[in-house]
C-alpha cells in the first residue's frame, strides 16, 4: 500500500532501459500497468550498444575473413583477405541500427509508457528524483546493469585504454591490441581482431576462462594460439604507461608494448548515483543484495539483471529476471529465481557452451559420477564441413545429467536441448531414442546419450545369454 497522503504516479517505475528493464516495462504496460521508464544513457543498454549485438556482428565479420584463409580445406585457393576495417565497423554499427528501433523510446511510448531520459536517484523509500521531478510508485525495479571494471593497476589511469563501451567506435585497425583479461569478452574480441589482421596479446593473471571445464578451455586455447593470438597466462600486470605513442604493460621486469589496450577484467554493478542509502537498500559495486524473489532490502523494490549481486551477468538472465518480477509486481503471483541451470556460451571459434556443473564441480558435489565424451570428429555433418574440432561432454550422476559442456562449432545452439532436458528432468533414454535428421550436428548429443547405454547392452555376458535363449525359443 502507498504511504498515507501520497498519490503514486505509477504502478511501476523501472530504472534502466537495457534488456532487463525493457522487458519488465513492456510486459507490465501491455498488461495494463501504469509504467514510468527512466534511462540516463542509450536505449537498449549495454547489450545492444556495447555488448552482445556489436560483438557478435564483429565475430561474424572476422569469421568470414578466417574462412577465406582456410578455404584450402575445400579445394579452393586460400587468400589473405583485404580488410577494410572502417567498413567492418560500419557493418557493426549497421546491425545495431537495425535492431535499435525495437528498443527505441518511441516504441515504448507506444505501449503507453512514460519514458524519461535522465539520472534517477532515491530521495526516500520508493521515491525517485529525476531532472528535478520527484516520482513515486507502488513498486520500483532497478535494472541499471553493469559497467566495465577497471583494475587498480598503477599508471592505468594515465593511459588511453579501451573497454567494450568504446572499442566498437574504432575506425582504424589496431596494429597491436593488448587485451587485459582472459575472460569471455577479452577472448572473443582478441580472436576477432586477430582474424581481422591485428597482432593481439592477451594478458591474464590466472588462466583463461578460469571457471570453465579445463578440457574445453584447452580446445579454445589451442585454437587461439594456432591463429596467432599470444596468450600470457599467470601474467600479473604491475604497471601501465605510454611513451612516444606506444602503450606498454609491465610484468615483472618485462614490458609488453602495443598500439591499443582493451581492458576486459570484469564488470561492476551500475549503482553509482542511485543514492541507495536514502531508500535503505543494500548494495555496492559488487551488486545489489536481493532475496530469491529478487526483492531488495526494501520488499517493494526489485533489482534484476547485471546489477544483482551474485547473479550470472548474461542478457538471457536479465530476461529471466524480468519475467519473475512481472509475475510478482503486476500479477501478484509467487515467483523465485533459480540460477542452477543457467546456460552460458563463450563465442570464440570453437565456441564453448555449458550448463549445470563442470566435471570438477560434479566430482566435489557427488560421490560418484560418469563422464561421457563424444567427439565432433565422429559426426558426419562436421566431417562434411571440415570443422571437427571439439566434443560434447556429459557429466552424469546416477544416470542423470548434472552438467553438459560442448566445445566446437555452434556449441551454443547444440546446448539448447540439454538445457531443456535438464530443466524438465528428461530421462537419458528418451534423449538417446529420439529420431533426428541426418546428417546434422544435433546427432552429436544423441550419440553421447546412447554411449551411456552401450556398455550395458553390447558385450554384456548377461545380455548375450538372454539373446541366445530368446533365439532358441523363438520359432
- Judge whether 222 lies within some domain: yes
- Judge whether 381 lies within some domain: yes
Do the beta carbons of residue 348 and residue 223 sit within 8 Å? Answer: yes
d(CA 107, CA 105): 6
Same domain for 144 and 18, yes or no, is: yes
Q: Can you give the CATH number for the domain in which 387 is found?
A: 3.30.390.30
Domain end, chosen from 239, 265, 291, is at: 265
Note if the pTM is more than 0.85.
Answer: yes
Residue 6 has pLDDT above 80, yes or no: no
Q: Under DSSP, is residue 45 helix (H, G, I), strand (E, B) or coil?
A: helix
Residue 3 has pLDDT above 80, yes or no: no
Alpha carbon 245 to its chain centroid, in Å, reads 34
Range of the domain at 199: 156-265
Bridge partners (DSSP) of residue 351 are: 408
The whole-number pLDDT of residue 2 equals 43
Sign of CA dihedral 332, 330, 270, 311: positive
Bridge partners (DSSP) of residue 303 are: 142
Q: Tell me the average pLDDT across 18-46.
A: 97
Residue 457 has pLDDT above 80, yes or no: no
Q: Tell me the average pLDDT across 242-248.
A: 89
- Number of folded domains that form the chain: 3
Same domain for 249 and 303, yes or no, is: no
Q: How confident is residue 453, by pLDDT bands cut at 50, 70 and 90?
A: confident
- Judge whether 366 lies within some domain: yes
Quick one: which of 159, 164, 144 has its CA closest to 265? 164
The whole-number pLDDT of residue 7 equals 60
- Judge whether 59 lies within some domain: no
Q: How confident is residue 178, by pLDDT bands cut at 50, 70 and 90?
A: very high
Residues with Cβ < 8 Å from 326, sequence gap 6 or more?
23, 24, 27, 28, 31
Same domain for 210 and 190, yes or no, is: yes
| Longest Cα separation, the chain | 91
How many of the other CB atoms lie within 10 Å of CB of 173? 18
Same domain for 275 and 130, yes or no, is: yes
- Judge whether 2 lies within some domain: no
Domain end, chosen from 224, 244, 265, is at: 265
Same domain for 122 and 232, yes or no, is: no
- Judge whether 205 lies within some domain: yes
Same domain for 272 and 314, yes or no, is: yes
The whole-number pLDDT of residue 459 equals 66
Q: Is the peptide bond before 350 cis (omega within 30 degrees of 0)?
A: yes
Do the beta carbons of residue 212 and residue 352 sit within 8 Å? Answer: yes
Domain end, chosen from 279, 299, 329, is at: 329
6 or 110: which carries more pLDDT confidence? 110
Identify the DSSP state of 242.
E
Do the beta carbons of residue 409 and residue 351 sit within 8 Å? Answer: yes
Q: Can you give the CATH number for the domain in which 184 is found?
A: 3.50.50.60
Dump pLDDT digits (tens) for 41-60. Answer: 999 999 999 999 999 999 99
Same domain for 376 and 446, yes or no, is: yes
Quick one: which of 263, 259, 108 has its CA closest to 186? 263
Same domain for 183 and 296, yes or no, is: no
The whole-number pLDDT of residue 4 equals 46
Dump pLDDT digits (tens) for 279-325. Answer: 999 999 999 999 999 999 999 999 999 999 999 999 999 999 999 99
Same domain for 217 and 255, yes or no, is: yes
Same domain for 442 and 398, yes or no, is: yes
Dump pLDDT digits (tens) for 351-408. Answer: 999 999 999 999 999 999 999 999 999 999 999 999 999 999 999 999 999 999 999 9
- Judge whether 469 lies within some domain: no
Residue 340 has pLDDT above 70, yes or no: yes
CA distances from 32 to 9, 312, 343, 454 (A): 14, 30, 32, 55
- Judge whether 464 lies within some domain: no
Helix 443-457 and helix 411-424, axial crossing angle in degrees, nearest 10: 60
Q: Tell me the average pLDDT across 241-248.
A: 90
Q: Tell me the average pLDDT across 431-455.
A: 92
Dump pLDDT digits (tens) for 61-99. Answer: 999 999 999 999 999 999 999 999 999 999 999 999 999
Same domain for 382 and 453, yes or no, is: yes
Do the beta carbons of residue 403 and residue 361 sit within 8 Å? Answer: yes
99 or 462: which carries more pLDDT confidence? 99
- Give the side-chain half-sphere CA count within 13 A for 125: 11
Q: Rounded mean pLDDT of the chain? A: 95
- Give the side-chain half-sphere CA count within 13 A for 197: 16
Same domain for 359 and 447, yes or no, is: yes
Q: How confident is residue 8, by pLDDT bands cut at 50, 70 and 90?
A: confident
Location of C-alpha cell 527505441: 104
- Give the side-chain half-sphere CA count within 13 A for 292: 6
Amino acid at each position: 500500500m502507498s504511504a498515507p497522503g501520497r498519490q503514486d504516479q505509477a504502478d511501476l517505475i523501472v530504472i534502466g532501459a537495457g534488456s532487463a528493464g525493457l522487458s519488465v516495462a513492456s510486459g507490465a504496460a501491455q498488461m495494463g500497468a501504469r509504467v514510468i521508464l527512466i534511462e540516463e544513457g542509450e536505449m537498449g543498454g549495454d547489450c545492444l550498444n556495447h555488448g552482445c549485438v556489436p560483438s557478435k556482428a564483429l565475430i561474424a565479420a572476422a569469421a568470414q575473413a578466417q574462412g577465406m584463409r582456410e578455404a584450402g580445406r575445400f579445394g579452393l585457393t586460400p587468400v589473405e583477405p583485404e580488410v577494410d576495417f572502417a567498413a567492418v565497423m560500419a557493418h557493426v554499427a549497421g546491425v545495431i541500427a537495425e535492431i535499435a528501433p525495437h528498443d527505441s523510446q518511441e516504441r515504448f511510448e507506444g505501449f503507453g509508457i512514460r519514458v524519461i531520459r535522465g539520472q534517477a536517484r532515491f530521495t526516500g523509500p520508493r521515491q525517485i528524483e529525476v531532472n528535478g521531478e520527484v516520482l513515486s510508485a507502488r513498486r520500483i525495479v532497478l535494472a541499471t546493469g553493469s559497467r566495465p571494471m577497471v583494475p587498480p593497476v598503477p599508471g592505468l589511469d594515465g593511459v588511453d585504454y579501451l573497454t567494450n563501451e568504446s572499442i566498437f567506435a574504432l575506425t582504424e585497425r589496431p596494429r597491436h591490441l593488448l587485451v587485459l583479461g582472459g575472460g569471455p569478452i577479452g577472448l572473443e574480441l582478441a580472436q576477432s581482431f586477430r582474424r581481422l589482421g591485428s597482432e593481439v596479446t592477451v594478458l591474464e593473471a590466472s588462466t583463461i576462462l578460469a571457471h570453465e571445464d579445463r578440457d574445453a578451455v584447452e580446445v579454445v586455447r589451442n585454437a587461439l594460439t594456432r591463429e596467432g593470438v599470444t596468450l600470457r597466462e599467470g601474467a600479473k600486470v604491475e604497471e601501465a604507461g605510454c611513451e612516444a605513442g606506444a602503450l606498454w604493460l609491465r610484468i615483472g621486469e618485462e614490458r609488453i608494448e602495443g598500439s591499443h589496450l582493451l581492458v576486459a577484467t570484469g564488470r561492476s554493478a551500475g549503482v553509482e548515483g542511485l543514492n541507495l542509502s536514502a531508500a535503505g537498500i543494500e548494495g555496492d559495486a559488487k551488486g545489489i543484495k536481493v532475496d530469491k524473489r529478487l526483492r531488495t532490502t526494501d520488499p517493494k523494490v526489485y533489482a534484476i539483471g547485471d546489477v544483482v549481486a551474485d547473479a550470472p551477468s548474461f542478457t538471457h538472465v536479465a530476461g529471466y529476471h524480468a519475467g519473475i518480477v512481472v509475475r510478482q509486481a503486476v500479477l501478484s503471483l509467487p515467483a523465485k529465481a533459480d540460477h542452477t541451470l543457467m546456460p552460458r556460451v563463450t563465442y570464440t571459434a570453437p565456441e564453448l557452451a555449458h550448463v549445470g556443473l563442470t566435471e570438477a564441480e560434479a566430482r566435489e558435489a557427488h560421490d560418484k559420477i560418469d563422464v561421457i565424451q563424444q567427439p565432433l570428429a565422429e559426426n558426419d555433418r562436421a566431417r562434411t564441413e571440415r570443422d571437427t574440432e571439439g566434443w560434447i561432454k556429459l557429466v552424469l550422476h546416477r544416470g542423470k545429467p548434472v552438467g553438459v559442456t560442448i566445445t566446437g562449432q555452434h556449441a551454443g545452439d547444440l546446448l539448447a536441448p540439454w538445457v531443456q532436458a535438464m530443466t524438465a528432468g528428461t530421462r537419458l533414454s528418451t534423449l538417446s531414442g529420439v529420431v533426428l535428421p541426418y546428417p546434422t550436428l544435433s546427432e552429436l548429443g544423441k550419440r553421447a546419450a546412447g554411449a551411456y547405454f552401450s556398455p550395458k547392452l553390447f558385450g554384456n555376458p548377461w545380455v548375450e545369454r538372454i539373446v541366445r535363449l530368446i533365439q532358441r525359443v523363438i520359432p
